[in-house]
Amino acid sequence: MTLEIATFPIDRPATYSGVGVSVSPDSVSVTQTVGPKFFDHRGQVTISAFGALSDIVGAAPAGVARQHATGVVAQAVLAQLTASTANPFPHAGQVSGVGRSMHFDDTSGLSSAEILDENGNLVLHLTGRTIVVGRTPTDRAGSAADPFPTAPDEYEPWIDGHVLDSTSGLDVVSGIAAGTLPRGPLAGMHDLRVHTVERGAVRATVTPSEWMTNFIGSIQGGVLLSIAESVTGLAAQSLTEAGGQYRMLQITLDYLRSPAVPGPPVQVRSDVVRAGRRLASLETLLTGEDGTVYVRAYASVQLFARSSEQR
């Protein structure tokens, strides 16, 4: 995301996701209502649900602090974003958090944020590194004649629990690829299309859409986080037995290039680097059709075997 003017700008993905933002000289506060439109293919809430929110509190606080301290309004983009989970995400209600600047200079910034549920439990910790760039905002921010879109009230279904309990993870993800099992609301929102699946390896595509646009005309970093985490989760799902579960512990994205909007499909590939009984490490790449790497992501995923009560 970018900072452009004294009043805080809201880009398309943040508006589409219903993220609320308020700014003070030393912090950026965010809120987001959680509900079924943000569920994954299992009917669960994961990091992917909070992509746009993560982009804001991972990028903006250092820029706000720089502007307050120096009076300089500098364009900055995310270079790296790390999201770490804590307590389980709520399935409904609201999450909120505050992002603060940890450091800034003329060329870069570092921000940190804690996201809490309505009971004050930490659900997500975020750290963002930004780099000051020379690009200027485009008119893709919209206008009165071109209002921001909002997420639709209707959403795609997720997979019934009894199917997950009776089907191996590999067959679940293969079913999503074949279209015999639903991909879930969030994947539907991004129009994520899974093409090939092997144990520990998933290949998919996402075609850039206008609602994903940030102020410099490329896909917002939070949208890229959601896409990367979704496909990483599918690769982790392919490791599980029937009734088994996985949980994303941490994912770090290195932003290398920016996919353009409109543009050709972004290729997404996620591979398990190492998998043990309880923990798996995965690498996920978002690339262009010509092989240009846009995002390189690294993730740690906790694996849970089917409980004895289900056997």
Given a cut of 80, whether residue 8 has pLDDT beyond it is no
- At residue 177, φ and ψ (nearest 5 deg) are -60, -40
- At residue 270, φ and ψ (nearest 5 deg) are -125, 130
- Residue 283 in contact with residue 271, Cβ under 8 Å? yes
What are the start-end ranges of the E strands in 236-278? Answer: 245-255, 266-275
Given a cut of 50, whether residue 308 has pLDDT beyond it is no
Domains of the chain and CATH, by start: 12-136 (3.10.129.10), 161-304 (3.10.129.10)
Summarised one tens digit per residue, pLDDT across range 235-275 is: 999 999 999 999 999 999 999 998 988 889 999 999 999 99
pLDDT of the residue at 5: 33
**Rounded mean pLDDT, 76-87:** 96
**CA-based nearest residue to 35, from 154, 192, 159:** 154
Strand pairing partners for 285? 269, 296
pLDDT of the residue at 139: 46
- Residue 58 in contact with residue 220, Cβ under 8 Å? no
What's the residue count for the chain?
311
pLDDT of the residue at 263: 86
pLDDT of the residue at 86: 98
Q: Which helix (H) or strand (E) holds 195?
A: strand 193-198
| Residue type, position 38, single letter | F
Strand pairing partners for 132? 76
- Residue 159 in contact with residue 181, Cβ under 8 Å? yes
pLDDT of the residue at 172: 98
Strand order in the sheet with 245-255: 20-24, 27-34, 93-104, 108-116, 122-132, 76-85, 245-255, 293-304, 279-287, 266-275, 201-206, 193-198
Given a cut of 70, whether residue 145 has pLDDT beyond it is no
Stated pTM of the model:
0.93
**CA-based nearest residue to 261, from 46, 11, 5:** 11
